[in-house]
A and B are shown apart, each in its own frame.
Chain A
Amino acid sequence: QQPVQSPQAVILREGEDAVINCSSSKALYSVHWYRQKHGEAPVFLMILLKGGEQKGHEKISASFNEKKQQSSLYLTASQLSYSGTYFCGTVLSNAGNMLTFGGGTRLMVKP
């Protein structure tokens, strides 16, 4: 079953912060986050593993709440380059990395 992402779209001014959520109705082994620019391939950002680990990548970090089966992506002091569509992909089994992707969150950062 497809994870649910929220919000569907967000517009920010440069320097503002944003949070994108990814929720699943099933138990997860990991959550993968990707960013896609229009017409390009998705680019890998980070993986959150079962266990509530929080990771960071420049000013982008994420957490995984195992109790809620929810991951959140935090974008701090956003830059113009952060614009794009963010997708979460969820893995339900420890036997592989079959990803089920959410519908995406469109982020636009304005000057």
Chain B
Amino acid sequence: DGGITQSPKYLFRKEGQNVTLSCEQNLNHDAMYWYRQDPGQGLRLIYYSQIVNDFQKGDIAEGYSVSREKKESFPLTVTSAQKNPTAFYLCASSIISYNQPQHFGDGTRLSIL
């Protein structure tokens, strides 16, 4: 079955540590996205990519970094510069068209130790 796989489901970060969240899709989608969701809030865009080796900052990119070395993969690194990383992180992918939906992974819940 085609879909988006995020791992791990839960992640804990120590002070000063960088952590990487994995996102893999087998839907052959060109576009991939990372969102952050705080409790009771909507989804805010961190980074997005529409083609391999290219990505753009979203609304809240500070303290995060991404790479897009393969079409299927779009890992997100939460760096030590992100002082408030506790949130639910969602990865999505889509065909690049305004009439196509985004498909979401099951999310990673990140907490500070």
* Bound complex: CA A101 to CA B98 (Å): 14
Contacts of B98 in A (CB 8 A): 29-30, 49, 91, 93-97
> On chain A, which size bracket covers the interface?
20 to 34
Main secondary structure of the interface of A (DSSP, over half): loop
A54 vs chain B, min Cβ distance (A): 15
Q: Judge if B2 is at the interface, Cβ distance under 8 Å.
A: no
Of A13-21, A37-45, A63-71, A75-83, the one touching chain B: A37-45
> On chain B, which size bracket covers the interface?
20 to 34
Contacts of A100 in B (CB 8 A): 45
B47 vs chain A, min Cβ distance (A): 12
Instruction: Kindly report which residue of chain B lies nearest to residue A102, judged by CB atoms.
Output: B42
B56 vs chain A, min Cβ distance (A): 9
Q: Judge if B8 is at the interface, Cβ distance under 8 Å.
A: no
Contacts of A39 in B (CB 8 A): 88, 107, 109
14 A–B contacts, CB within 8 A, in A order: A30-B98, A32-B101, A40-B106, A40-B107, A41-B107, A44-B102, A47-B101, A49-B98, A87-B43, A89-B43, A97-B31, A100-B45, A103-B41, A104-B40
Q: Which residues does B use to contact A, with CB under 8 Å? A: 31, 35, 40-45, 48, 50, 88, 90, 94-107, 109
Q: Which 6 A-B pairs have the closest CB atoms?
A: A41-B104, A44-B101, A101-B43, A29-B98, A101-B42, A91-B98
